[in-house]
Amino acid sequence: MYVDVDVAVIGAGPAGLVAARHLKEAGYTASAAPRPVPSRSAAGHGHGGCTAASGGGGGDRSMVVLEETSSPGGIWNRAGAEGRPVVPCRCADPDPDADAAYGDGEAGGGEAATEVGRENSSSGSIRPSFGVETSSQPLYENLRVNFPKDIMSFVGAPFRPDVPFFPGVPAVEEYYGDYTRRHGLEEGGYVRYNSRVEKCWKREDGRRWVIETVGGEVYYADNVVVCTGHHRRAFAPPVPGVRHFARRVGRRLIHSSAFGSVERFRNRRVLIVGGGISGSDIANHLLRDGRCRGVTVSVRKLSLKAKLLLHQAVKRGARVCPGVERVGDDGKIHFVPGRRENGFGTKLQHRTSPEDFDDIIFATGYRYWYPFLHPEQRRRVLSDETGYKLERLYMRMIYVEDPTMAFLGITNVNLPSSVLLEHQARVYVKYLRGDLAAPTPTRDEMEEEVRSRSCDRTQDALAGKFPSYVRSLAMLSGEGGYWNHLLKCSLPAFLRSLWVQRHPILGWAVVGASFQGAALALLLARYDRFPSFLQPSLFGSGTQLG
């Protein structure tokens, strides 16, 4: 079966949903029903082999959203986790002696999570690597978002008044389902569920994209928007001597995406590598109920940001140490000499003793992963095989080599995604329609914009540049910029929610928040209303936000 469309959106997470909404509001209709493929060549078997005519059929512009699971929401979609393949994650051992020790490629400890493999290093050599437990569903017990709900919500689609100030996973999952239905994206075939994209390539004549799903459907599209997010391919840095840890019975290498719940770590000594949002939050969860025997957080640099994020964890008994230097022959961890921080303050240690742990949790982020793209396109878009960053994207969105492909939501920094996605979607739709407030950029202008960011450590890192980037998008779309968005859209709702959550009964009586939500707000302990690293002690001991 095949379908002709003008725009194919891959993924029905937050990025895909907001893109679909703006496309629909711009007049794009749902794609027609699938038609039988006239021949194997028309089905596109083999890259560049299709012969279908260009155009979506009729005078209307059409679109389709291809979602691999049975419901919307992306990583917030718990029900669809079974439909996502788990991408393997491995921790390489760069120790020169590792090849001799594991030349036969056999596992040491006998556990599936520490199975030995081999991978290419950046220098081109082959080195042993060890499996790290990971998950396609990076949501764990008691997780809360780290932005207030009104900063996180899309324009014209607020969270319900009774939803906590920092929502939990069920509320966010419900929000994206409501958003999909509110804008009619499930009606008439806008979103095709259970349609995981297996291949996506450009025809040899360069006219159209060919997209194949696992179920055998083929889509011919003039434009492709990739909205598959950044939380699929877990990353673990190489650790010299990690083989000595992996071969010990009962030891586990785990990525933060597979954290799950604190019960898994009862009576265990845990080392968390990485002190960012996930690392600090997991440390707090482990220490809150005292089930584990101890928590140490390893950070490469004890910066002000790390101190702020780890403030609560340190108060609860976490130790903060420098980066991991190596694993000794006895399986113990050697840390780089440097500053240590605990509840009694910070001190510098030049010589340290190795320490023993039961689990290593890598809270070290993710790499971009687009297995469905043709290898040539994937090679040009990704900066290298590790997927560390994307290149060749005009305004961090439009692929310079072929502007009929775009990527939305590309950033590896924790930012208000709703603001970013709203502005990117507006620019993209106006770009498709040739309706930008500024002249449509030429190829040379796109190249120049990309070159202007070529010295950035990562071209998709937006820390400190977010307001100016949104302002640049607003100039292209003719809409209000970052501060305009916050002042007119987010701030009023933010203040209203803040007042309701501080005065839940009055909120129920005056602005219509549900009584059930008001009652729950009174009963909830104050610490349960915040992400663990944003708890009320940071704002003053008397503050109680819902």
pLDDT one-digit tens code per residue, 273-321: 999 889 999 999 999 878 899 999 999 887 777 888 888 898 899 999 8
Q: What is the mean pLDDT of the chain?
A: 78
Mean pLDDT in residue range 21-27? 95
**pLDDT tens digits, residue range 455-470?**
666 556 666 677 788 8
| Cβ neighbours around 60 below 10 Å, total | 12
Helix, coil or strand: residue 68? coil
Q: What is the pTM of this model?
A: 0.81
What's the domain count of the chain?
Answer: 3
> Does residue 478 lie in a domain region?
no
* CA torsion through residues 263, 266, 272, 276, sign: positive
62 and 125 together in one domain: no
Comparing 115-119, 195-199, 261-265, 453-457, the range with the smallest average pLDDT is 115-119
The structure tokens listed for 484 are 């305009």
433 and 487 together in one domain: no
Pairwise CA distance, residues 10 & 283, whole Å: 34
Residue 446 has pLDDT above 60, yes or no: yes
200 and 287 together in one domain: no
pLDDT more than 90, % of the chain: 41
394 and 487 together in one domain: no
Task: Say which CATH number the domain at 412 has.
Answer: 3.50.50.60
> Does residue 281 lie in a domain region?
yes
**pLDDT band at residue 487 under the 50/70/90 scheme:** low
Per 3-state DSSP, the chain is made up of helix, strand and coil in percentages (nearest 5) of 30, 20, 50
534 and 431 together in one domain: no
**pLDDT band at residue 254 under the 50/70/90 scheme:** very high
Give the pLDDT of residue 119.
Answer: 55
Mean pLDDT in residue range 347-365? 82
pLDDT more than 70, % of the chain: 71
**pLDDT band at residue 30 under the 50/70/90 scheme:** very high
| Cβ neighbours around 255 below 10 Å, total | 25
Q: Which residue from 505, 422, 339, 334 is spatially nearest to 152, judged by alpha carbons?
A: 422
- Bridge-partner residues for 168, per DSSP? 144
> Does residue 468 lie in a domain region?
yes
Spatial contact of 513 and 507, defined as CB atoms under 8 Å apart: yes
Strand order in the sheet with 345-349: 252-255, 359-362, 269-273, 294-298, 319-321, 338-342, 345-349
Q: Which residue from 116, 134, 126 is spatially nearest to 94, judged by alpha carbons?
A: 126
Mean pLDDT in residue range 399-407? 94
Q: CA–CA distance from 155 to each of 146, 158, 325 (Å)?
A: 19, 7, 47
Give the pLDDT of residue 288.
Answer: 87
Comparing 309-323, 385-399, 471-485, the range with the smallest average pLDDT is 471-485
489 and 458 together in one domain: no
Residue 195 has pLDDT above 90, yes or no: yes
What are the DSSP E strand ranges found in 227-337? 233-234, 252-255, 269-273, 294-298, 319-321, 324-327, 333-335
Domain boundary among 448, 473, 498: 473
Give the pLDDT of residue 341.
Answer: 64
Comparing 120-124, 326-330, 381-385, the range with the smallest average pLDDT is 120-124
Residue 49 has pLDDT above 80, yes or no: no
Q: Which residue from 462, 470, 370, 485 is spatially nearest to 414, judged by alpha carbons?
A: 462
242 and 323 together in one domain: yes
372 and 357 together in one domain: no
347 and 308 together in one domain: yes
Residue 505 has pLDDT above 70, yes or no: no
> Does residue 534 lie in a domain region?
yes
Residue 506 has pLDDT above 80, yes or no: no
The DSSP bridge pattern shows strands 252-255 and 359-362 to be parallel
What are the DSSP E strand ranges found in 279-430? 294-298, 319-321, 324-327, 333-335, 338-342, 345-349, 359-362, 366-367, 393-394, 398-399, 405-407
385 and 449 together in one domain: yes
For the chain, counts of helices (H) and of strands (E): 16, 24
Comparing 90-99, 165-174, 475-484, 499-508, the range with the smallest average pLDDT is 499-508
Give the pLDDT of residue 186.
Answer: 87
> Does residue 186 lie in a domain region?
yes
Residue 521 has pLDDT above 50, yes or no: no
First to last CA, the chain: 50
> Does residue 213 lie in a domain region?
yes
Mean pLDDT in residue range 395-423? 85
Spatial contact of 165 and 524, defined as CB atoms under 8 Å apart: no
- Bridge-partner residues for 272, per DSSP? 297, 361
Give the pLDDT of residue 294.
Answer: 94
Q: Which domain holds residue 247?
A: 89-133+236-364
Give the pLDDT of residue 361.
Answer: 98
> Does residue 545 lie in a domain region?
no
**pLDDT tens digits, residue range 203-240?**
888 889 999 999 999 999 999 999 998 888 999 999 99
> Does residue 328 lie in a domain region?
yes
Mean pLDDT in residue range 30-55? 53
- Bridge-partner residues for 181, per DSSP? none
Pairwise CA distance, residues 137 & 546, whole Å: 27
Domain boundary among 345, 364, 383: 364
Cite the DSSP H helix spans in 345-416. Answer: 375-381
Domain boundary among 473, 504, 529: 473
Mean pLDDT in residue range 35-40? 59
350 and 413 together in one domain: no
274 and 419 together in one domain: no
Q: Supply the DSSP symbol for 221.
A: E
The structure tokens listed for 481 are 């910029």
Give the H/E segment covering residue 98: helix 98-101
Pairwise CA distance, residues 327 & 329, whole Å: 7
